[in-house]
Amino acid sequence: MKNLRDDIEAFLLRWASLLLFAAIFAAFGLLSPKFLEPQNLINILIQSSSIAITAIGMTFVLLVAGIDLSVGSVMFVAAVVAGKLALGGQPLALTIAAVLLIGLACGAINALLVTRLAIPAFIVTLGTLYLGRGFGLWMTETRAMNLPESLLQIGAARTLGAPVPILVFLFVLALAHVVLTQTPFGRQIYATGNDRETARSAGINTKRILFLVYVISGLCAAVGGLVSVAQLGAVSPTFGNQREFAAVAAAVLGGTSLFGGRGNVFPGTVAGAILIQTVENGLVIINADPYLYPLVMSSIIFLAVGANAERFRQARRGANAS
Amino acid sequence: MNRLITGAAALVIAAFFSSCNTAPSGPKQMTIGVSFETLQTEYWVAGFEAIKSELKKRNIQALEAIADGDANRQLEQINNFIARRVDGIIAVPKDAKTIIPMIKAANAANIPIVLYNRPADQTDAKSVAVVADNFAITKATVEYMCEQAKKTGKKYKAAILLGDLGDINAMGRRDGFEDAVKQYSDLIEVVARIPTEWNGEKARAGVTNALQANPDINFIFTSSDFMFPPIIQALKEAGKYKKIGEEGHVLLGGFDGDATAYQMLVDGYLDADGVQDVYFESEAAVQAVLEMKVGKDVPVKILDLGFVIHQGNLKEMAAKMWGAQVEK
Amino acid sequence: MTSFTCARSGAAVKVVMEDSAKQRREESAFVFEAKALRNPFVSEYSIFYLTILYFFALAPFTPGLASTENAANIFSNLLPLLIVALGQTVVLITGGIDLSVTSTIALSSVMGAMVMSGDQGWLGGSRWATIAGVVVMLLIGAVVGLFNGAAITIFRMPAFIVTLTTMMFASGLAIWLTKSKTIYNLPPSFNAIGKGSVFIVPYALVVTALLAVALHVMLSRSLAGRWLYAIGHNAKAAVVSGVPVGRTTRLAYVISGLCAAAASILYTGRMETGSPVLGQRILLDVIGAAVIGGTSLFGGRGKVIWTVCGVLFITLIDNSLNMLGLSYFFIMMVKGGVILLAALLDAWRNRLLAGR
Amino acid sequence: MAQVSNLHHQAGNKLRRVQVGNLHHRKILGEPILQFDKIEKSFFGVRVLKGVSFALEAGHILGLVGENGAGKSTLMNILGGVLPFDAGRMRLSGAEYAPRRPAEARAHGVAFIHQELNLFTNLSIAENIFIADFPKRRIAGVPVINRRAMREQTKSLLAALELHATPETLVENLSPGERQLVEIAKALSIDARIIILDEPTTSLTVRETERLFALLDRLRAQGISMIYISHNLGDVLRMCDDIVVLRDGEVVGAGRRGEFTEERMIALMVGRTLDQLFPERASAVSSEVALEVNGLSQPGVIEEISFCLHKGEVLGVAGLMGAGRTELARALFGLDPAQRGAISINGLPAPPSLRGRINRGLAFLTEDRRAEGLMMEAGITENVALAALPSFLHHGARSFAGLLNQPEIEAAATHIAQSVQVRGAANLRQAVKTLSGGNQQKVVLARWLLAEPSVFILDEPTRGVDVGAKAEIYRIINELAAQGAGVLLISSEIEELIGLCDRILVMASGKITDCVERTDFDRERILRAALGASVREEAG
């Protein structure tokens, strides 16, 4: 029935994201041999670890057709608290525990407002975005904060030869992937995202599901913040600004739908996050004109998402026809 | 938590005080509106604090306003000050041009206005500017670095960390840098220009990636000292964070003169840092605004020459370097 | 919400009732709503009452807050923001969102300046400079909007991502075009739009008022308006009923783009400068204002008047806290709190009206 | 205590028997598995169930019929634990039974299969079956889905239901019939003793329906009891052992299947004898052609469709699910593309665009009124006016920004809404989501009437609509024809077609396989044409 052109088109669309990925790698590789060196690939992984972790949390929220705009602020608050404690000479373990707690708390606040009071997630998290940012600035009196060695260990140290950020990243990823694909909770998230009413009447405690995804998002954001700040050595007042957009972009690049029920952290979201970081990295490596960065980045995201949308559209049409 | 409460209390008290203002009875306390374009970097915070303490010293109430990098918000805030009938305005312009209508507005309400750290473009509007010249100071700093480089006789590969491309200061510093290195084009080649959007994460990644592309980079200038910590992390990882004189030391230069930079100077890692004299600027600004208030005529431009601090002059200059005073 | 509408409606048209029981149910529902409506905070304009309350609560503590020049001030701050928010409202009604407005402001500001500027403008000094500049600026807005609309309707991409990427691109372009410089020396006749006034009425006010009225009429009375709501309610049903969904949706985004451009004219005019970072920070205020006013993020619900109230509230908060000389972070926290509060009110109201 | 209450209970039953008449005439063998006893339920102080009592016997299928709003779904929701009840009691195999949530009902072995299937299209069959509680195994104390167990159990279930698909198949790739089976599999997975089926056949093909009925027979044989809700009284008479008729929250008739005929059921449901369900066709078919189609084709969907619809004619389109009827309608209306073929409306070639065709006088009532018909949140007026809006533009203004004549719209909407008798609305601003299915359908009809088209394409206009509303919709269709409009009526209920149409086209796998004149209407022939072709199709 179908002629060759359709097949080719279908093929291209099916693998659009991957092809784009390959194309970008090839392009940078040609422009600078250094780009493809293993060390650089490791750099890319390290640099994308923070945003990837945050985006993984975001994916959980997007899967139930929600959104969490507050992740950037959560990253900031977590980093600030971590810094304060570390500077106060608290042991690393305590600092980390505190960060996780902050993440839980912030997530829980969003979750409460979304589930109990039935306010649209967009507004809730928009509000908490302001609150969090303001709170963090208040704690730091809007000053930058240099971090002590103890904390920087996380960023610099290597365990089993692998940099800690990557390990944390892989750990979170594995955990999230297993939760989403192998546990009842994970599948129920997809069910809730597909149709909340149905999920409820099927005996799923949707309120609990919703609550937990926002908590998870908060948690991931906090961890992401810690991982990132540990590499920076200082918390500046702008830390985490606009991260929410990067996180959403990463997830959507990975094929996660904003309307819930579709998407995955692996390969999806992770690929998205790495793609973004790869472009950043490549542009520096080839010493590109600084002014080109946003133009290139936005165009690539646009292309990838466009191809994805087109694919879904055709798939849907196919479904209707049959 | 109780800090939050104190915050709330502060609000009530502030409210109470300001309400006293309108009351005819009681001695009138002066109010000065302080509008900063941003508090993004340590330097601005220091200046902000310095001005506020300066005002406190003279028992003058300060009204804060941060434009958050938005010229419009700044205009609105300054209009608010005017509506509030403040006795004077000290403003850090978002840039040399967008400030002009604000000056005009202040003139119209004949409220004295002093521009802190950035001048306005030539205009008939009346204002006094306390100015540090980003371009000149940066140029001097980088020239010093180049001289150091020359002594070694080696060839150098340089990287610069740019600030936000939308930030006029950042651009001034970039141009200063480019100008300086141009004169030494024979021995210095700029191999990386990294846009950081004043974002530490991008600075960190940028340096790492630049070193990946050119492992032999040995000359790094940052448009602001607050990006040193990420840079240090990146260098350490690449095993290139060495003291001056040690093998494989990377020539480092920065701008602002904050505490981190001072520490690095003392520890002998940092070669040169362009410093703006916060104390001079803040005091001069407050002084100027008060004199204008009482009608004295004040020079239109009060220049903060700033200075380059380096291993050579560390001892004598440290006293003037704000980063050396501000306790972290 | 709709049941709420019926309570407001004067002429209730009775239709054959199914059975007395159902009728009683309806009526009981009405009595309930009627009661609810007497409470200002569950009315459609709750946010407006909140604004007034807020104003009188703070006025005594804030010298100059109640002064006439401050009123004028609040308005001049409010106008451009309002224009952008109105455009945003139109898009929200169709169930979409437009994150690209701020960058549109910057881009059209820069392009306009490049045309008009005395020293480096293409038409520098010519008497057509101002007109040409204004046209170009509006054109930019229209083009960006059209691009968004096309990507969303033709390629079926989610509005959030499309407009997010256009935001990045447009702002990047603006900065690149100017190489980070701002452009000064715009024709006085242009600056007048931002600052000048006829008698005592500022041009900005005139422009905004005209725009607001036009949009109000369009939304409430015109064919396009009805279609916009229909799309927000159920796009598929709209298609089947012969609504040109693609065209109408694109119209929404073009309107949003044009509004952003119009705002850019006012901003640029009063700044007397074309700046590539103009209005970069107002995005969340814009969306916040519309939503606080009561416009739904899920489409089908929103009004010009609501958004006016929302913008008024946000601006008043900025202005008042600013006059109190509160610190930056404190203002931020209050803002966040207020957005949540407004949302709470809305949720509470809906629950009351749902009778649960 | 139990004794006493028991006595009460029996006394209660006696009373009911007197009232309800012949429900429990013959002594039922074996204890009834489920008993409703004076169940009361009110919303907003309005009694929706007024002391409903009847019993469901083990291994029986009980048909529960009644108009929409009669209280069927309320009662079932109570049984299924979705709603609490105010007074009365339920006894499940003798024991007191009052589920507080669906899960609890399921735990008691009561499974509720809703009309809109509760399936997650983005998940696999297996996951859908076990979504509420997965077979788990613990890894390091963490509960993880036991995929193998899930797979095996699902396999055996699917085998029992003769559903040939792997447990991993995504539900979105299943046909409506197969999805129905998955729902039943869910019920079996909790080994339900009672299964509630709400309108199970509405979206099934004839063959799928047969398959379902065969399955229900088997389940009955296994002693599973079922409550079967349907507007298709034929099916009820065919499948059910006992029948209970509800009206306005009261049991108005109950008894063995043998005691009922369709006429009697309808009479009980509407409280009066509908003079007749189908209005008299004063067949005034004119010779003028309203809609002419020549060789309309879209590869893989419809092939070489040619027919013409005369003014004043009701032309039926019969066929099984997937025969291409809806696809034909969408192609005619311009919603979906057609590769070849010519369409002319009232003698003029049809414009390519959907809007153009509407202006030419075409109207299309879609089969899925939720997704493609109504703006649920919006008021009746907005919904009714939507299609005709351009015609209310102030004199001459036809532009996008043209202003509308609001009062005129109100007036027209009111008039039209009254003429189609939209019921249950206090006023025309009430959200349509508050209306019953039948009345929602009338709103969609009203929308098109307002646009004054000359050709109507009606796709399953009476799906999920109660008898009363059905009759009214039939009347409207009839009037349209009488007024000289051409009506293309797509329906899965052959009675409906036979009762209303002047001619019936039969479609199978995208082709027209037969065209039957009113004079020789005949179920068998139509069914054969619908099935036969498709069977041939499968053979080849």
| Residues 6 or more apart whose Cβ sits within 8 Å of residue B35 | B65, B66, B67, B74, B77, B78, B81, B89, B90, B91, B92
Count of other CB atoms within 10 angstroms of residue C107: 30
Q: Assess if residue A227 is contained within a domain.
A: yes
Q: How far is D196 from chain A (nearest CA, A)?
A: 14
Q: Determine, for residues D123 and A199 on separate chains, whether the beta-carbon distance falls below 8 Å.
A: no
The one-character DSSP state at D280 is: P
Nearest chain C residue to D369 by CA: give it: C237
pLDDT at D397: 60
A partners (3+ CB pairs within 8 A) are B, C, D
Q: Determine, for residues B168 and C80 on separate chains, whether the beta-carbon distance falls below 8 Å.
A: no
Q: Which residues of D touch A182 (CB under 8 A)?
A: 144-145, 147
- Give me the number of domains chain C comprises: 1
CATH of B135-275, one of 3.40.1210.10, 3.40.50.2300, 3.40.50.300, 3.90.1200.10: 3.40.50.2300
Per residue in D70-100, pLDDT tens? Answer: 888 889 989 988 889 999 999 998 889 999 8
Q: Assess if residue C34 is contained within a domain.
A: no
pLDDT over 80 at C42, yes or no: no
Q: Determine, for residues A182 and D134 on separate chains, whether the beta-carbon distance falls below 8 Å.
A: no
Q: Assess if residue D253 is contained within a domain.
A: no
Nearest chain A residue to B229 by CA: give it: A233
The one-character DSSP state at D27 is: P
pLDDT over 70 at B16, yes or no: no
Task: Give the confidence band of D273 by pLDDT, cuts at 50, 70, 90.
Answer: low
Average the pLDDT over B48-63 and give the result.
91
Q: Determine, for residues B201 and A232 on separate chains, whether the beta-carbon distance falls below 8 Å.
A: yes
Look up residue C20 and give its two tokens: 């007395």
Give me the total of CB pairs closer than 8 Å, taking one residue from chain A and one from chain B: 109
pLDDT at D264: 86
pLDDT at D197: 92
Task: Give the confidence band of D274 by pLDDT, cuts at 50, 70, 90.
Answer: low
pLDDT at C151: 95
Q: Which residues of B touch A32 (CB under 8 A)?
A: 213
C267 with B72: CB under 8 angstroms? yes
Q: Determine, for residues B212 and A34 on separate chains, whether the beta-carbon distance falls below 8 Å.
A: yes
Specify whether D494 is located in the same domain as D436: yes
pLDDT at D316: 94
Q: Which residues of C touch D401 (CB under 8 A)?
A: 218, 222-224
Q: Which residues of C touch A130 (CB under 8 A)?
A: 284, 332-333, 335-337, 339
Specify whether D233 is located in the same domain as D309: no
Q: Assess if residue C241 is contained within a domain.
A: yes
B168 in reach of chain C (CB within 8 A): yes
pLDDT over 50 at B9, yes or no: no
Do chains C and A touch by CB distance (3+ pairs < 8 Å)? Answer: yes
Please choose, from the candidates D469, D484, D275, D245, the residue with its C-alpha nearest in 3D space to the C-alpha of residue D369.
D469
pLDDT over 50 at A183, yes or no: yes
Specify whether D76 is located in the same domain as D223: yes
Q: Assess if residue D132 is contained within a domain.
A: yes
Per residue in D47-58, pLDDT tens? Answer: 889 999 999 998
User: What Rg do the C-alpha atoms of chain B give, in angstroms?
Assistant: 22
Q: Which residues of C touch B68 (CB under 8 A)?
A: 281, 328
Q: Determine, for residues D406 and C241 on separate chains, whether the beta-carbon distance falls below 8 Å.
A: no
Q: Assess if residue C39 is contained within a domain.
A: no
pLDDT over 60 at B230, yes or no: yes
Q: Which has the higher per-residue pLDDT, C88 or A235?
A: C88
Task: Give the confidence band of D492 by pLDDT, cuts at 50, 70, 90.
Answer: confident
| Helix, strand, coil share of chain B (percent; to 5) | 50, 20, 30
pLDDT at C21: 39
Average the pLDDT over A66-77 and give the result.
95
| Mean pLDDT, all residues of chain B | 86
Residues 89-128 of A with CB under 8 A from D: none
Task: Give the confidence band of D462 by pLDDT, cuts at 50, 70, 90.
Answer: confident
Lowest mean per-residue pLDDT among A13-17, C48-52, D438-442: A13-17
Do chains D and B touch by CB distance (3+ pairs < 8 Å)? Answer: no
The domain in which residue C56 lies consists of 45-340
Phi first, then psi: give them for residue A101, nearest 5 degrees: -60, -50
The domain in which residue D230 lies consists of 22-241
- Give me the number of domains chain A comprises: 1
pLDDT over 60 at C253, yes or no: yes
- Percentage of chain D with pLDDT > 90? 37
The CA distance from A232 to B233, in Å, is 7
CATH code for the structural domain at B28-133+277-305: 3.40.50.2300
| CATH number of the domain encompassing residue C225 | 1.10.3470
pLDDT at B27: 54
Q: Determine, for residues A138 and C333 on separate chains, whether the beta-carbon distance falls below 8 Å.
A: yes
Average the pLDDT over A179-207 and give the result.
90
- A137 vs C329, C339, C344: nearest CB: C329
Q: Which residues of C touch A62 (CB under 8 A)?
A: none
Look up residue D379 and give its two tokens: 């008021």
B partners (3+ CB pairs within 8 A) are A, C
Specify whether D478 is located in the same domain as D534: yes
Instruction: Give, in order, the Cα–Cα distances in Å from C124 to each of C173, C191, D231, D326.
Output: 22, 14, 77, 63
Specify whether D235 is located in the same domain as D327: no
Task: Give the confidence band of A184 by pLDDT, cuts at 50, 70, 90.
Answer: very high
Lowest mean per-residue pLDDT among B316-320, D3-7, D348-352: D3-7
The domain in which residue A160 lies consists of 37-307
Look up residue C280 and give its two tokens: 């970069």
pLDDT at B168: 78
Q: Assess if residue C21 is contained within a domain.
A: no
pLDDT at B149: 92
- Give me the number of domains chain D comprises: 2
Q: Determine, for residues C15 and D402 on separate chains, whether the beta-carbon distance falls below 8 Å.
A: no
The CA distance from A171 to A177, in Å, is 10
**Alpha-carbon torsion, ordered B62, B68, B73, B75, to 10 deg:** 60
B199 in reach of chain A (CB within 8 A): yes
pLDDT at D22: 37
| CATH number of the domain encompassing residue D48 | 3.40.50.300
pLDDT at D10: 40
pLDDT over 80 at D27, yes or no: no
Give me the total of CB pairs closer than 8 Å, taking one residue from chain B and one from chain C: 134
pLDDT at B19: 43
Task: Give the confidence band of D471 by pLDDT, cuts at 50, 70, 90.
Answer: confident
Specify whether D300 is located in the same domain as D199: no
Average the pLDDT over D362-366 and give the result.
93
Per residue in D114-128, pLDDT tens? Answer: 877 789 989 999 999
pLDDT over 90 at A99, yes or no: yes
Give me the total of CB pairs closer than 8 Å, taking one residue from chain C and one from chain D: 146
Per residue in B117-169, pLDDT tens? Answer: 888 888 888 889 998 888 999 999 999 999 999 998 889 999 999 988 877 78
pLDDT at D456: 95
Average the pLDDT over B54-78 and give the result.
88
Give me the total of CB pairs closer than 8 Å, taking one residue from chain A and one from chain D: 62
In chain B, residues under CATH classification 3.40.50.2300 are 28-133+277-305, 135-275
Q: Assess if residue C17 is contained within a domain.
A: no
| CATH number of the domain encompassing residue A291 | 1.10.3470.10
D412 with C16: CB under 8 angstroms? no
Average the pLDDT over B281-299 and give the result.
90
Q: What pTM did the predictor assign? A: 0.85
- Mutual orientation of helices C101-116 and C159-178 as an angle, nearest 10°? 30
Specify whether D218 is located in the same domain as D332: no
Q: Determine, for residues C281 and B70 on separate chains, whether the beta-carbon distance falls below 8 Å.
A: yes
Specify whether D312 is located in the same domain as D211: no
Q: Assess if residue D265 is contained within a domain.
A: no
Report helix, strand or coil for C192.
helix
Q: Assess if residue A43 is contained within a domain.
A: yes
Do chains A and B touch by CB distance (3+ pairs < 8 Å)? Answer: yes
Lowest mean per-residue pLDDT among A20-34, A118-132, C67-81: C67-81
Per residue in A271-307, pLDDT tens? Answer: 999 999 999 999 998 988 989 999 999 999 998 888 8
The CA distance from B54 to B131, in Å, is 18
Q: Which residues of A touch C344 (CB under 8 A)?
A: 117, 119
Q: How far is A312 from chain C (nearest CA, A)?
A: 9
Q: How far is B4 from chain C (nearest CA, A)?
A: 10
Task: Give the confidence band of A102 by pLDDT, cuts at 50, 70, 90.
Answer: very high
Q: Assess if residue A23 is contained within a domain.
A: no
Whether the link from the prior residue into A267 is cis, omega within 30° of 0, is yes
A295 in reach of chain B (CB within 8 A): no
The one-character DSSP state at C10 is: S
pLDDT over 80 at A316, yes or no: no
Q: Assess if residue D418 is contained within a domain.
A: yes
Per residue in D200-248, pLDDT tens? Answer: 887 777 778 888 899 999 999 988 999 999 878 888 999 999 999 998 8
**Strand extents, DSSP E, D158-286:** 194-198, 225-229, 242-247, 250-256
Phi first, then psi: give them for residue D251, nearest 5 degrees: -80, 115
Average the pLDDT over D462-466 and give the result.
80
pLDDT over 70 at D283, yes or no: no
Per residue in C115-155, pLDDT tens? Answer: 998 877 788 778 889 999 999 999 999 999 999 999 999 98
pLDDT over 80 at A141, yes or no: yes
Nearest chain D residue to A316 by CA: give it: D172
pLDDT over 70 at D399, yes or no: no
The CA distance from A241 to A133, in Å, is 9
Mutate to test the interface with B, among C273, C282, C316, C331 (most CBs of B within 10 A): C273
A164 with A170: CB under 8 angstroms? no
pLDDT at B305: 78
Nearest chain D residue to C7 by CA: give it: D429
B222 in reach of chain A (CB within 8 A): no
Q: Which residues of D touch C240 (CB under 8 A)?
A: 333, 335, 364, 366, 372-373
Nearest chain B residue to A290 by CA: give it: B195
pLDDT over 70 at B13, yes or no: no
Report helix, strand or coil for C294.
coil
pLDDT at A315: 62
Specify whether D394 is located in the same domain as D454: yes
Q: Which residues of A touch B226 (CB under 8 A)?
A: 144, 234, 236
pLDDT over 70 at C5, yes or no: no
Mutate to test the interface with B, among C271, C330, C331 (most CBs of B within 10 A): C271
pLDDT at A3: 65
Q: Assess if residue A261 is contained within a domain.
A: yes
DSSP notation for B155-213: -EEEEEEE--TT-HHHHHHHHHHHHHHHHTTTTEEEEEEEE-TT-HHHHHHHHHHHHHH
Q: How far is A176 from chain B (nearest CA, A)?
A: 24
Specify whether D67 is located in the same domain as D125: yes
Q: Which amino acid is residue D337, in one-letter code?
A: P
Q: Assess if residue A27 is contained within a domain.
A: no
Mutate to test the interface with B, among C109, C264, C270 (most CBs of B within 10 A): C270
Look up residue D33 and give its two tokens: 């598995």
Count of other CB atoms within 10 angstroms of residue C341: 15
| Mean pLDDT, all residues of chain D | 84
pLDDT at A144: 83
Q: Which residues of D touch A202 (CB under 8 A)?
A: 102, 118, 131-132
Q: Assess if residue C19 is contained within a domain.
A: no
Q: Determine, for residues D427 and C224 on separate chains, whether the beta-carbon distance falls below 8 Å.
A: no
